[in-house]
Chain A
Amino acid sequence: MANPITDADVRHVAQLSRLKLSDEQIAEYTQQLGRVLGYIDKLSELDVDGVEPMAHALDMSNVLREDVPVEGMPVDKALATAPASDPPFFKVPKVLGEGSGA
């Protein structure tokens, strides 16, 4: 069976997923994901016309609460988990380098 996914597909998906992969990894993932997708193709055996998609395990609808203000997480606590911060801001490296197109 032809591989349902190509190198180019995996490259595209890696880009959408924000994962920087080597050519070697792309090749490996193409082969592995191809096998998994081949197995998943089993789903096409079934006639699902008219079946309502089920996104959630049990019937639930939107949960609302009274519009009462509650204490949020203090800024210092939230910033404490960051790789770098300059309170009250998250600190990021200079990201607009030369040739930046992303």
Chain B
Amino acid sequence: MQPEFESLVTLKKAIAEKKVSAVDAVTAYLERIGQHDESIHAFNELYGDYAMQRAAQVDAGQITGKLAGVPIAIKDNLCTPYGHTTCSSKMLANFKAPYMATAVGKLEAEGAIIIGKTNLDEFAMGSSTENSAFGMTKNPWDTTRVPGGSSGGSAAAMAADFAAATLGSDTGGSIRQPAALCGVCGLKPTYGKVSRFGLVAFASSLDQIGPFTRSVEDAALLMDVICGHDPKDSTSANLPASDHTLELHKPIENLRIGIAKQYMAEGNDPAVTKAVEDAIEVYKSLGATIVEVDLPHTEYGIPVYYIVATAEASSNLARYDGVHYGHRTEKPEDLYDLYAASRAEGFGDEVKRRIMLGTYALCSGYYDAYYNRALKVRRLIKQDFDKAYEQCDAILCPTTTGVAFKAGDKTDDPLAMYLNDVYTVNANLAGIPGITIPAGLSDDGLPVSIQLYGNAYEDAKLLRIAQMFQTATSHHTLRPKLG
């Protein structure tokens, strides 16, 4: 692609300076998608006509804003009043949302052009995008491998340069893990920074919308646009919209980077370990102090997460009843059958598995042993972070234990798939922000990453710390060669 397309910030500038027209920008991405998405399958749906129409309006000066003319793709669990919102589920295959997700509305209000919706694990449940009812997405670096999940389509679209930026959602790592496996930046903001209104609910106390971008600078710009209080989401934080770009390039003085031994397990792929060790050296060279922090409850994150997330999911997904929206079975025998057959036909295996696990954890008799105990351990995990942030500004750790795995490798073993999230779920349980940034390639030419955790509501500071790394390195400019 032309140099103007290097990042969202460069493209936005080129469009503003009329070096590239918005119509040309949209055309360039649509052509690239047309050429390559058959082998990647990042998209569920494209909005070519709508995007071209909006681009023409940008070029005519009728649409303006911080993101005027910039093509962006969004995960197909974000509602828009145009097109379908399917969650990659047979249940919602024909669903047309009657309203706009707040985060997407904010993008459009600043002139962004939504070019399409990206594939995901059904209802955002999965770590490989293999659970999509419409076929898996492939990793642009190696199409025999998974892009990660659940926002695999958004990560792959970003890696393949199918849009200037994409949005995803992160409940247990669904932005950061695919960002790591696809070699792009992915940010899960602090819980409550971005309104969840119009994000199809999976686990309401964990879900958070965030950006996939080429650079940290791009992520900061998108955060400025999508964050802020929303009366339509009572869990959105009632704080003034913070500025993530203002001081982005100002390094943090006396920076303290925390390292937790619990994240540096021997089972990590050597390429992952090396990426973190190299990053430690980068931060040292920038004057940071490395501090050892203790997060003793880390290993309990997965069991807590798979109770809390599934319990909330079992409740959230009760709304799919075959009556109000979604799939309905053909000839129900009775009322029970209307529900049970519609749901059995509409939901895929993993969604069913999680609904049942969550229902089980909430059953009387098991509630105390599972759900209530999980909530108590969740607090212990949060307290670990509270203590750690007394000693450091950010925690540096891997996002994943390894690089992108082969398609089909873990589909028969739900537990193995769940363990993918071992380094990401705790941020969701504690509500803190986490960012994944590219950190080079493995010997096999696959992306490796590092992850930085920040303290709650310190997203702007976290981005500044991540920017320090990107100013000193060039890993984020690496791109896959598409076949």
Contact = CB atoms under 8 A, between A and B. Distances in A.
A76 to B, nearest CB: 10
B306 interface: yes
Contact of A17 (B206, B359, B373, B375): B359
A99 B429 CA distance: 46
A97 interface: yes
A80 interface: yes
A51 B415 CA distance: 28
B374 interface: yes
Contact of A46 (B192, B205, B300, B336): B300
Given A20-B344, A39-B303, A95-B334, A80 B98 contact: yes
B323 A90 contact: yes
Interface residues of A, number: 55
Given A55-B375, A57-B191, A36 B98 contact: no
Interface majority SS on B: helix, strand, loop or mixed?
helix
B332 A39 contact: no
A83 B334 CA distance: 17
Given A9-B360, A19-B352, A20-B341, A58 B375 contact: no
B99 interface: yes
A87 to B, nearest CB: 14
A27 interface: no
Contacts of A78: 98
B323 A92 contact: yes
A38 to B, nearest CB: 9
Contacts of A21: 344, 352
B323 A36 contact: no
A102 to B, nearest CB: 3
A55 to B, nearest CB: 6
B335 interface: yes
A32 B407 CA distance: 20
A57 B192 contact: yes
A19 B415 CA distance: 22
B337 interface: yes
Given A54-B376, A102-B334, 15 more contacts: A13-B356, A13-B359, A13-B363, A18-B340, A20-B340, A32-B415, A36-B415, A44-B369, A46-B300, A53-B372, A78-B98, A80-B98, A84-B328, A96-B335, A101-B334
8 contacts: A21-B344, A39-B302, A52-B379, A57-B431, A58-B431, A63-B235, A81-B324, A82-B323
Interface of A: 5, 9-10, 13-21, 29, 32-33, 35-37, 39-44, 46, 48, 51-58, 60, 63, 65, 73, 77-78, 80-84, 90, 92-93, 95-97, 99-102
Interface of B: 95-99, 190-192, 205-206, 231, 234-235, 237-238, 297, 299-300, 302-304, 306-307, 314, 318, 321-328, 331-341, 343-344, 347, 352-353, 355-357, 359-360, 363, 369-370, 372-380, 382, 414-415, 418, 428-431, 456
